[in-house]
């Protein structure tokens, strides 16, 4: 019998790729969205439309728990790619509380598994995003539902900014730039998630096929853009200053500054999977 998989965060970069990969693997897809109209359009960074992909829709608002009531009834499994990236909301309200509310519904409905797109090294760093994601992954480990925690390295979508800066002649590293990262395409990560979905509970660090130091990444962006430029190293004093200013500006600025300045120093490599190469992706960008 065809299993139904409910996808939270279905309109996001990863969520859209997950919905398509699920449909291609023969699952029925229930998309949890805040706008069906937006879902039917193409997503950002080349992510696909959900028109003809989702067979069921649920309109949800994570700040209004009543809209989540029974949202997984009749579903077999859940994948959550829900999280704040560019949206204006607190990561605590969405990444932690939003996912917690989903998990409570999943437990009540008795679904077989709950797969969560966490972030690699979520146990490190002081940003609210990292703290919220780590807190939810801890809760999921203790659920009665089988938890599948996927810890990805940076997505190609986020690497777009590195190329855009290089095109303006700007490149930077934080600290010595010698930490490693293996960015992953949304379609490759979606394939990984679908592959793990019907298996047991577990936790996996995952990334794309190519590993770079942050310095190599900045150099690659200059190569692909055909520009030359200087790579600026942001040292510890500058990092502290920027975080201090951001802390006084707003909680959102504080989170962003901490997330990026700390994240760009982390060794963030997962098991390499997939076939998409970052340089090829960059070359397709207008």
205 binds ligand NAP per the rule CB under 6 A: no
Distance CA 240, CA 235 (A): 9
Which backbone phi and psi does 11 adopt, to 5 degrees? -90, 0
> Out of 29, 84, 135, 163, which residue is the one contacting ligand NAP (CB under 6 A)?
84
> Out of 4, 58, 81, 182, which residue is the one contacting ligand NAP (CB under 6 A)?
81
CB nearer to ligand NAP: give 113 or 132.
Answer: 132
Count of positions on this chain that bind ligand NAP (CB under 6 A):
25
Q: From 252, 243, 251, 263, select the one nearest 86 (Cα to Cα).
A: 252
125 binds ligand NAP per the rule CB under 6 A: no
111 binds ligand NAP per the rule CB under 6 A: no
* Residue numbers 129-168 binding ligand NAP by CB under 6 A: 152, 154-155, 157-158
Q: In angstroms, what is the minimal distance from the CB of 256 to ligand NAP?
A: 13
Helix-strand-coil split of the chain, %, nearest 5:
45, 20, 35
Write the CA distances from 258 to 81, 218, 244, integer angstroms.
22, 20, 10
Is 244:112 a contact under the CB 8 Å cutoff? no
Site string for ligand NAP, 6-45 (x = CB under 6 A): ---xxxxxxx------------------x-----------
CB nearer to ligand NAP: give 148 or 157.
Answer: 157
> Out of 50, 106, 111, 117, which residue is the one contacting ligand NAP (CB under 6 A)?
117
> Out of 82, 103, 174, 257, which residue is the one contacting ligand NAP (CB under 6 A)?
82
Write the CA distances from 194 to 24, 35, 188, 234, 240, integer angstroms.
10, 24, 10, 39, 40
List of long-range contacts for 37-46, beta carbons under 8 Å, 24+ apart = 38/11, 39/10, 39/11, 43/11, 43/12, 43/13, 43/16, 44/13, 44/157, 45/13, 45/156, 45/157, 45/160, 45/186, 46/284
Distance CA 123, CA 149 (A): 13
192 binds ligand NAP per the rule CB under 6 A: no
Select from 77-85, 104-112, 174-182, 229-237 the region that touches ligand NAP (CB under 6 A).
77-85
Distance CA 97, CA 62 (A): 8
Is 207:182 a contact under the CB 8 Å cutoff? yes
CB nearer to ligand NAP: give 102 or 173.
Answer: 102
Say which DSSP state 268 is in.
Answer: B
CB nearer to ligand NAP: give 173 or 189.
Answer: 189
Beta-carbon-side half-sphere exposure of residue 156 (alpha carbons within 13 Å): 29
> Out of 85, 109, 143, 198, which residue is the one contacting ligand NAP (CB under 6 A)?
85
71 binds ligand NAP per the rule CB under 6 A: no
CB nearer to ligand NAP: give 94 or 187.
Answer: 94
Is 32:60 a contact under the CB 8 Å cutoff? yes
224 binds ligand NAP per the rule CB under 6 A: no
Binding site for ligand NAP (CB under 6 A): 9-15, 34, 62, 81-87, 89, 94, 117, 119, 152, 154-155, 157-158
């Amino acid at each position: 019998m065809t299993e139904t998989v409910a996808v939270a965060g279905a309109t996001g970069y990863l969520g859209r790729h997950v919905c398509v990969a699920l449909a291609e693997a023969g699952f029925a897809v229930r998309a949890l969205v805040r706008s069906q109209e937006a879902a039917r359009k193409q997503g950002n960074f080349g992510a696909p439309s959900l028109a003809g992909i989702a067979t069921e829709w649920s309109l949800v608002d994570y700040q209004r728990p009543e809209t989540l009531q029974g949202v997984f009834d009749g579903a077999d499994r859940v994948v959550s790619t829900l999280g704040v990236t560019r949206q204006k909301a607190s990561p605590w309200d969405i990444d932690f509380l939003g996912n917690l509310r989903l998990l409570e519904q999943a437990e009540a409905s008795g679904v077989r598994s709950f797969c969560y797109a966490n972030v690699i090294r979520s146990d490190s760093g002081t940003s609210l995003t990292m703290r919220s994601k780590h807190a939810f992954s801890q809760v999921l480990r203790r659920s009665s539902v089988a938890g599948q925690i996927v810890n990805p390295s940076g997505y190609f979508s986020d690497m777009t900014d590195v190329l855009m800066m290089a095109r303006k002649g700007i490149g930077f590293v934080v600290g010595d730039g010698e930490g490693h990262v293996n960015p992953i395409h949304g379609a490759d990560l979606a394939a990984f998630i679908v592959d793990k979905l019907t298996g047991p509970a577990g936790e996996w660090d995952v990334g794309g096929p190519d590993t770079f130091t942050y310095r190599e990444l900045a150099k690659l962006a200059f190569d692909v853009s055909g520009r030359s430029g200087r790579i600026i190293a942001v040292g510890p004093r500058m990092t502290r200053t920027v975080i201090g200013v951001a802390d006084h500006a707003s909680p959102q600025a504080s989170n962003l500054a901490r997330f990026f300045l700390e994240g760009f120093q982390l060794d963030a490599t997962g098991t390499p999977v997939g076939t998409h190469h970052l340089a090829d992706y960059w070359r397709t960008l207008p």
